[in-house]
Amino acid sequence: MTFSAALGFLPTDSFNVVALIAVFVLVAVGLHFTFGLLDVVNLAHGEFLLIGAYTTYQVHDTTGSVVLGMVLGPLVAALVGLVIERGVLRFLYDRPLDSLLATFGLAVIIRQTVQLIYSANPRLVPDPIGGSFTIAGLNVPWWRLIVVAIAVAVVALVATLFSKTRFGLEAQATVRNATLAETSGVSTAAVRAWLFAIGAGIAGLAGSVLAPLNTLDPQYGLLFLVNSFLVVILGGKASLRGLVIAAVVLGGSLAILQFVISTVIAQIVVLVIAVGGVRVRPILTQLIAEHRERRAVSIE
């Protein structure tokens, strides 16, 4: 009996669940930078996806190369993010409600601009590889496998960035105490600008690699906005590990539930899981801390 048949209710393309989780991770890692670390309630996060996706579409349309579009998509999104951070958001770090309003406004502007240029008609970006292979009865499309690999690579790179580089150290200091970081020699303005640009760039990357899996329209980014906030809040704002776990739990639930019930009900269930998770997380954290303490004592 194959793996997917053993699960009974899952069809042979259940690898889509894994791919959806990967997309969740990718989108949420982007928001980890702008909302988790910089504390900007970034309602334009979905629009950075949109920029990545439409850049990929445009580059393919012009040059015929999807891959080139996927390289440029994140770069364009990061550049737009950088301009927005330098032009608007850097004045609003101490004013959370104003930054919420600003990103909401920017989101509408970006969305309408995309609609103005490309109309609301759905657009398609072809699968750059195409085809699939079967393993243990599971149908694995090559492109979805690559999306999973990209998500894993991005998480590994981000983890390395924070734990191994000078920039990561400066970013941690800036996030924890910006005044002290600044007066200890860190250019917090530059650190924040880079963090925002990287977050926007990762969102753009998510939009780019996702483009062949969905039809594009100007509302495309909105689909991911709420879920990515759920993931970052459930995972703990400053924790990359928590964020990946939350993305697996929420993305996994949504993907599996979509197979068995309607998408709307599935989204409601995911919201319930998120709300319950936020309630239970402090208790779990406490239990884990106590467990670790007991183990440390017994080792001594």
Partner 1 sequence: MSAELAVAGLHTGYGSSIVLRDISFEVPTGAVVCVMGRNGSGKTTLLRALMGVLPIQGSVHLGDRDITNWPGHRIHAAGMAWVPQEDAVFASLTVRQHLEIALGAADVDEGIAAAAGLFPILGERLDQPAQTLSGGERKMLGIAQALVVRPRVVLMDEPTEGVGPLIVEQLVAAIARIAARTAVVLVEQNIDTAIALGSQAHVIEHGSIVESGDIGDLHDRGILEQRLAL
Per-residue contact flags (x/-) with partner 1 for residues 148 to 167, judged by CB under 8 A: ------------------x-
CB of 202 to partner 1, least distance (A): 23
- CB nearer to partner 1: pick between 176 and 280: 176
Helices (H), the chain: 3-6, 15-31, 45-63, 66-87, 96-118, 142-164, 166-176, 178-183, 188-210, 222-235, 240-260, 263-299
Per-residue contact flags (x/-) with partner 1 for residues 70 to 109, judged by CB under 8 A: ----------------------------------------
Q: For residues 203 and 246, is the Cβ–Cβ distance under 8 A?
A: no
- CB nearer to partner 1: pick between 91 and 133: 91
Give the span between the Cα atoms of 112 and 33, in whole angstroms: 25
> Which whole-number Å values give the CA distances from 252 to 18, 113, 184, 274, in the listed order?
7, 33, 43, 12
DSSP lists the bridge partners of residue 133 as: 140
Instruction: Classify 252 as helix, strand or coil.
Output: helix
- CB nearer to partner 1: pick between 189 and 269: 189
- CB nearer to partner 1: pick between 65 and 172: 172
- CB nearer to partner 1: pick between 186 and 203: 186
- Only one of the segments 16-24, 121-129, 175-183, 214-222 lies at the binding site for partner 1 (rule: CB under 8 A); that segment is 175-183
Q: Work out the burial of residue 28: count CB atoms within 10 Å of its CB; fewer than 13 is exposed, 13-18 middle, 19 or more buried.
A: buried
CB of 182 to partner 1, least distance (A): 4
Angle at 46 between CA 23 and CA 102, to 5 degrees: 150
Number of residues that bind partner 1 (CB under 8 A): 18
- Assess 230 for contact with partner 1 (CB under 8 A): no
Q: For residues 26 and 150, is the Cβ–Cβ distance under 8 A?
A: yes
CB of 283 to partner 1, least distance (A): 22
Q: Which 182-201 residues touch partner 1, going by CB under 8 A? A: 182-189
CB of 180 to partner 1, least distance (A): 7
- Assess 176 for contact with partner 1 (CB under 8 A): yes
Give the span between the Cα atoms of 227 and 247, in whole angstroms: 9
Query: Which of 173, 197, 209, 244 touches partner 1 by CB under 8 A?
Result: 173
- Assess 23 for contact with partner 1 (CB under 8 A): no
Binding residues for partner 1 (CB under 8 A): 166, 169-170, 172-173, 176-177, 179-189
